């Protein structure tokens, strides 16, 4: 490189990447690179790394010939060989695109130099110059005055190319000894250096938990929550600094790619759908009331889990009739569900998870489409399992592991090794961990954040802090007793990936454990008598409804168990009914009578999501929020017959709560502002226009309660994120196989 002080010798790709500041917002938070701290790691300068280095393949002297080609190309053209708007974009360019010919960027380039550099930059190492001596002899033989294409160029441009050619000779002569060492026939090929590109979210932004990297590693699909609080599919091109929302994908979950990396399949609205990333709306493929993951084979077959119970099915990617593949007899005890399939390279064999009743962990099986009944168990896991580059990759707890796998014998052949830590996983969500792997072995995952700590705080009617309550913990759903003296809250255990229920004294902030079983509990709700708590618990495959007394050594009573997940939402003031929501396609609200045969009956059903219902203090009305208009709004309907509906919010709203006298209704605007509406329920329902109270600072969540109201409506108990919470970073991991040698 020419500088004011003379010629500087460039290295061959061993410069350390240094961090940049985070960029705010989801669309702009995709370009930060963080330094690596793994033992024995050497970072390569990304722009000069060969494809095999990025993909984690064995590396030899031909990677240095690639880097040399990059340097000469840059000197001759004045531009980087491979460019991207971000480091991820540069990776995509190196792996997928050939550089523009030198003669096109710099017309004065001699054709022989153009050919020499092009051979240096061949994607396949076997197509490059095979040793430094041949390259040196070829470079030295280049004529310094060879005629380029017939164009008229300035003297400076001609000098630039000639200087680059001469400088290239100096460089290769200076490092000749090193290159000869690299090209010696007895050198053993070794994996390239480990490289982690950590992409940190900016202030107020966060990365989602469902990344799916395309097979060609050029894009990442993920599920993100938009400003209106609705989850949709997003696509991030790794050569871009922004992610784009895919229209028409409301309620998307568990995306997975087609082998051509041009289409994405996902679950939404009780259906399996696909969308072309180049444009066009989503297309329905098959019914999937509770989709549990899928995989797309090269011949166009999609293998997927259509429901929360039962086996896997197959369907043409173009759509058609789904046919069963794996079967479950569904005994009282035994395997209840197959999910998260993954096709192996032959397009016939596949991996999948099998989960037993009463066991939150999953067993990995391998089977084939030809003989699916002859499945072979492989290992246990806390997540889906994928195959790439000769390894099975999966999570146990927050640790991401890689284990050798023999594709001829379809069995593991060695011990599992750690490749990443602090990867969010959730045993209570069908064995899910936040990672994905491309066909070439590039791993992407979220890490460093997970579930942050939250703090209970009392605020007054003006939004001013009265006091904090208790410690900051990994709290989730909560409910306050009718006397406002106690809170029951779900607290996340990151070591087990499960929620336990705890009781907290509101005055003193003291915590005491209510549940200890190794299963996940959520959505607790106080009984009107203050002596019992109803909650959802996942003892088997589905979340069922139990109740338990608050006294020591109390035991569970099963209120409702069925083949669908159920979340407790509200308990009527007279203690006679519980409202619960289902998660089968869209969310509907049901009534569970607590007297008689306890046969549930539907209360709210309209094909849209309805959540967070709450009884009025007299039990005659139910407030809830729904997305039936395309955004979340608050509604009130009579109980027990929902034959009328009154919209309360006018510009979006979530999480309604009644004042104790039923004359005021509170809710959160979509931006977290607390709103108030005066209501009159005698002789029907009338409501005032919404009035703004104060900004809560809450990042609204349509599926979880975040605040409670005092009896007089003058104070509010909020569950707030503490300042020390860190959003998870999105990390791209290259050359992870190097970690397996330590």
pLDDT digits (tens, 9 = 90+) for 591-601: 999 998 899 99
User: What residues contact 185, with CB distance under 8 A and at least 6 apart?
Assistant: none
Within 10 angstroms of residue 45's Cβ, the number of other Cβ atoms is: 16
Residue 189, pLDDT > 80, answer no
- Candidate ranges 21-30, 98-107, 324-333; pick with highest mean pLDDT: 98-107
Which long-range contacts does 233-239 make (Cβ < 8 Å, 24+ apart)? 233/264, 233/266, 233/275, 234/26, 234/208, 235/264, 235/277, 236/30, 237/89, 237/92, 238/84, 238/86, 238/88, 238/89, 238/91, 238/92, 239/84, 239/85, 239/86, 239/88, 239/89, 239/90, 239/92, 239/93
Whether residue 694 contacts residue 673, with contact meaning beta carbons closer than 8 Å, is answered with yes
Q: Give domain status of residue 521, yes or no.
A: yes
The answer for residues whose C-beta is within 8 angstroms of residue 350's C-beta and 6 or more apart is 295, 303, 341, 342, 343, 344, 366, 367, 368, 369
Confidence of residue 138 (pLDDT cuts 50, 70, 90): confident
Residues 431 and 461 in one domain: no
Check whether 144 has a pLDDT greater than 90: no
What sign for the dihedral angle of Cα 247, 248, 253, 258?
A: negative
Does the pLDDT value for residue 182 go beyond 70? no
CB 522 within 8 A of CB 477: yes
β-strand 486-493 against 475-480: which pairing, if any? antiparallel
Question: For the chain, what percentages of helix, strand and coil (3-state, to nearest 5) are there?
Answer: 15, 40, 50
Predicted pLDDT at 122:
92
CB-CB contact of 257 with 131 (8 Å): no
**Residue 660, domain member (yes or no):** yes
Q: Residue 36: is its pLDDT beyond 60? A: no
What percentage of the chain reaches a pLDDT higher than 70?
78
End position of a domain, from candidates 146, 163, 191: 191
Q: Is residue 198 part of a domain?
A: no
Provide φ and ψ at 630, rounded to 5°.
100, -10
- Residues 6+ positions from 573 with CB-CB distance below 8 Å: 528, 615, 617, 618, 619
- What's the CA gap between 648 and 668, in Å, rounded? 12
Residue 153 makes CB contacts below 8 A (sequence gap 6+) with 107, 108
Q: Is residue 234 domain-shared with residue 112, that is, in the same domain?
A: no
Residue whose token pair is 């009944």: 373
Global confidence as pTM: 0.62
Q: Give the tens place of pLDDT for each residue, 460-474.
A: 999 999 999 999 998
Indicate the pLDDT class of residue 498, thresholds 50, 70 and 90.
Answer: confident
pLDDT tens for each residue of 599-629? 999 999 887 889 999 999 999 999 999 988 8
pLDDT bracket for residue 170 (50, 70, 90): very low
- Looking at the fold, whether 333 and 439 belong to one and the same domain comes out as yes
Same domain, 695 and 638: yes
CA dist 420 to 29, 328, 582, 732, Å? 22, 34, 35, 11
pLDDT at 270: 85
* Pair 515, 568 in one domain: yes
Confidence of residue 208 (pLDDT cuts 50, 70, 90): low
How far apart, in whole angstroms, are the C-alpha atoms of residue 97 and residue 561? 55
Nearest to 337 by CA among 305, 294, 315, 296: 305
* Interacting residues of 89 by C-beta distance below 8 A, sequence separation 6+: 83, 237, 238, 239, 240, 241
Residue 224 contacts residue 234 (beta carbons within 8 Å): yes
Indicate if the pLDDT at residue 155 is higher than 50: no
**Are 233 and 345 found together in one domain?**
yes
Identify whether 202 is part of a domain. Answer: no
Residue of higher predicted confidence among 489 and 420: 489
What's the number of domains the chain is made of?
3
Asked whether the predicted pLDDT for residue 716 surpasses 90, the reply is yes
pLDDT greater than 60 at residue 512:
yes
Q: What is the structure's pLDDT at 188?
A: 41
The most confident of 29-33, 219-223, 706-710, by mean pLDDT = 706-710
Asked if residue 624 and residue 651 are part of one domain, the reply reads yes
- 407: nearest Cα among 394, 422, 421, 389: 389
- Identify the DSSP state of 201: B
- Share the mean pLDDT of the chain: 80
In 3D space, the residue among 670, 688, 691, 692 whose CA is nearest the CA of residue 679 turns out to be 688
What integer pLDDT is reported at residue 357 of this predicted model? 53
H, E, C per residue of 576-621: CEEEEEECECECCEEEEECCCCCCCEEEECCCCCEEEEEECCCCCE
- Is residue 735 in some structural domain? no
pLDDT interval class at 84 (50, 70, 90): confident
**Contact residues for 144 (Cβ-Cβ < 8 A; gap 6+):** 162, 165, 166
Same domain, 304 and 268: yes
Examine the domain organization and report whether 158 and 263 are in the same domain.
Answer: no
**CATH code at position 574:** 2.120.10.30
The half-sphere exposure of 37 on its side-chain side, counting CA atoms within 13 A, is 5
Q: What is the DSSP string of 275-309?
A: EETTS---EEEEE-TT---EEE-TTSEEEE--SSS
Residue 652 is assigned to a structural domain of this protein: yes
pLDDT in tens, 535-587: 999 876 678 999 999 988 889 999 999 878 899 999 999 999 999 998 755 67
Q: Look-up: residue for tokens 């329905």?
A: 284
Clarify whether residues 517 and 646 are in a common domain: yes
Q: Is 194 left (phi over 0), alpha (psi -120 to 50) or beta?
A: beta
Same domain, yes or no: 550 and 412: no
Structure token digits, residue 158: 């001609």
734 assigned to some structural domain: no
Residue 496 sits in the same domain as residue 609: yes
- Find which of 335-344, 348-357, 543-552 is predicted with most confidence, using mean pLDDT: 543-552
**Is the confidence at residue 335, as pLDDT, over 60?**
no
Determine the Cα–Cα distance for residues 256 and 211; give it in Å rounded to an integer: 9
Q: Given a cut of 70, is residue 185 above it in pLDDT?
A: no
Which domain-ending residue is among 426, 449, 472? 449
**225 membership: H or E segment, kind and range:** strand 219-225
Domain with 536, as residue range(s), is 454-721
Q: Is the pLDDT of residue 14 over 50?
A: no
Last residue in a domain, options 416, 433, 449:
449
- Here the tokens at position 237 are 């091109």
Q: Is residue 467 part of a domain?
A: yes
Nearest C-alpha neighbor of 357 from the set 541, 132, 617: 541
Helices 62-77 and 132-140: crossing angle in degrees, nearest 10, is: 30
Please check whether residue 58 is in contact with residue 191, taking contact to mean a CB–CB distance below 8 angstroms. yes
Give the tens place of pLDDT for each residue, 238-258: 767 677 889 999 888 899 999
Within 10 angstroms of residue 374's Cβ, the number of other Cβ atoms is 9
Mean pLDDT of 333-354: 85
User: What percent of the chain lies above the pLDDT cut of 90?
Assistant: 41
Average pLDDT value for residue range 27-55: 52
pLDDT in tens, 386-444: 998 899 999 887 788 999 999 999 999 988 999 888 787 655 445 567 888 988 888 88
Q: For 516-534, write each residue's pLDDT tens digit.
A: 888 889 999 999 999 999 9
**What digits encode the pLDDT tens for the residues 273-318?**
999 998 889 999 999 988 889 999 999 999 999 987 789 999 999 9
Helix ranges (DSSP H) in 109-198 = 111-120, 132-140, 155-174, 176-182
- Per-residue confidence band for 16, with pLDDT thresholds at 50, 70 and 90: very low
pLDDT score for 141: 73
Q: Which of 661, 649, 592 is nearest to 624 (CA)?
A: 649
């Amino acid at each position: 490189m020419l500088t004011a002080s003379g010629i500087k010798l460039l290295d061959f790709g061993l410069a350390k990447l240094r961090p940049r500041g985070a960029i705010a917002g989801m669309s702009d938070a995709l370009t930060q690179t963080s330094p690596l701290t793994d033992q024995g790691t050497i970072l390569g300068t990304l722009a000069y790394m060969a494809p095999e280095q990025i993909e984690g393949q064995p590396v030899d002297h031909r990677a240095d010939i690639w880097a040399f080609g990059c340097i000469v190309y840059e000197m001759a053209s004045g531009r980087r060989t491979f460019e991207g708007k971000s480091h991820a974009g540069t990776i995509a360019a190196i792996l997928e695109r050939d550089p523009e010919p030198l003669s096109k960027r710099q017309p004065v380039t001699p054709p022989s130099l153009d050919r020499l550099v092009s051979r240096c930059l061949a994607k396949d190492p076997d197509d490059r110059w095979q040793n430094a001596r041949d390259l040196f002899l070829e470079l030295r033989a280049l004529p310094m005055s060879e005629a380029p294409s017939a164009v008229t160029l300035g003297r400076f441009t001609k000098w630039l190319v000639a200087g680059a050619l001469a400088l290239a000779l100096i460089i290769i002569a200076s490092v000749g000894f090193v290159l000869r060492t690299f090209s010696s026939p007895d050198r053993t090929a070794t994996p390239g250096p480990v490289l982690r590109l950590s992409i940190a979210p900016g202030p107020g932004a966060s990365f989602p938990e469902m990344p799916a990297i395309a097979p060609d590693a050029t894009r990442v699909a993920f599920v993100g929550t938009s400003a209106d609080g609705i989850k949709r599919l997003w696509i991030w091109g790794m050569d871009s600094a922004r992610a784009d929302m895919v229209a028409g994908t409301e309620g998307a979950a568990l995306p997975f790619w087609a082998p051509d990396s041009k289409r994405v399949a996902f679950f939404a609205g009780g259906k399996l759908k696909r969308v072309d990333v180049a444009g066009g709306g989503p297309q329905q493929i098959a019914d999937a009331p509770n989709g549990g993951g899928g995989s797309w084979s090269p011949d166009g077959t999609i293998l997927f889990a259509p429901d929360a119970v039962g086996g896997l099915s197959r369907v043409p990617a173009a759509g058609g009739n789904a046919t069963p593949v794996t079967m479950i007899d569904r005994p009282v005890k035994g395997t209840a569900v197959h999910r998260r399939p993954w096709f192996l390279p032959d397009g016939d064999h596949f991996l999948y998870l099998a989960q037993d009743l009463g066991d939150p962990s999953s067993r990995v099986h391998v089977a084939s489409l030809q003989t699916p009944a002859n499945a072979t168990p492989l290992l246990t896991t806390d997540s889906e399992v994928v195959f790439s580059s000769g390894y099975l990759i999966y999570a146990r707890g927050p640790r991401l592991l890689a284990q050798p796998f023999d594709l001829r014998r379809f069995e593991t052949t060695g011990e599992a090794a750690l490749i990443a830590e602090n990867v969010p996983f959730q045993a209570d969500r069908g064995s899910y961990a936040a990672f994905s792997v491309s066909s070439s072995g590039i791993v992407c995952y979220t890490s460093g954040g997970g579930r942050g700590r939250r703090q209970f705080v009392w605020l007054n009617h003006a939004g001013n802090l009265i006091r904090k309550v208790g410690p900051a913990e990994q709290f989730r759903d909560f409910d306050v007793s009718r006397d406002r003296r106690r809170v029951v809250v779900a607290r996340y255990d990151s070591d087990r990936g499960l929620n336990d229920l705890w009781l907290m004294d509101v005055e003193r902030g003291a915590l005491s454990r209510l549940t200890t079983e190794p299963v996940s509990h959520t959505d607790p709700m106080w009984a009107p008598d203050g002596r019992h708590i109803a909650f959802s618990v996942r003892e088997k495959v589905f979340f069922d409804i139990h109740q338990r007394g608050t006294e020591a050594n109390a035991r569970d009573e099963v209120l409702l168990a069925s083949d669908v997940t159920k979340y407790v939402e509200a308990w009527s003031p007279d203690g006679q009914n519980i409202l619960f929501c289902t998660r089968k396609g869209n969310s509907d609200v049901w009534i569970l009578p607590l007297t008689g045969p306890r046969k549930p009956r539907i209360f709210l059903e309209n094909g849209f999501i309805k959540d967070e219902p709450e009884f009025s203090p007299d039990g005659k009305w139910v407030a809830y929020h729904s997305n039936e208009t395309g955004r979340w709004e608050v509604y009130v309907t009579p109980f027990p017959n929902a034959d009328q509906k009154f919209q309360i919010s006018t510009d979006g709203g979530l999480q309604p709560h009644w004042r104790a006298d039923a004359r005021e209704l509170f809710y959160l605007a979509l931006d977290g502002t607390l709103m108030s509406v005066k209501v009159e329920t005698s002789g029907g329902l009338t409501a005032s226009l919404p009035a703004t109270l104060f900004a809560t600072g809450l990042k609204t969540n349509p599926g979880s309660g975040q605040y409670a109201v005092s009896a007089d409506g003058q104070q509010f108990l909020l569950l707030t994120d503490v300042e020390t919470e860190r959003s998870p970073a999105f990390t791209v991991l290259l050359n992870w196989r190097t970690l397996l040698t330590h």
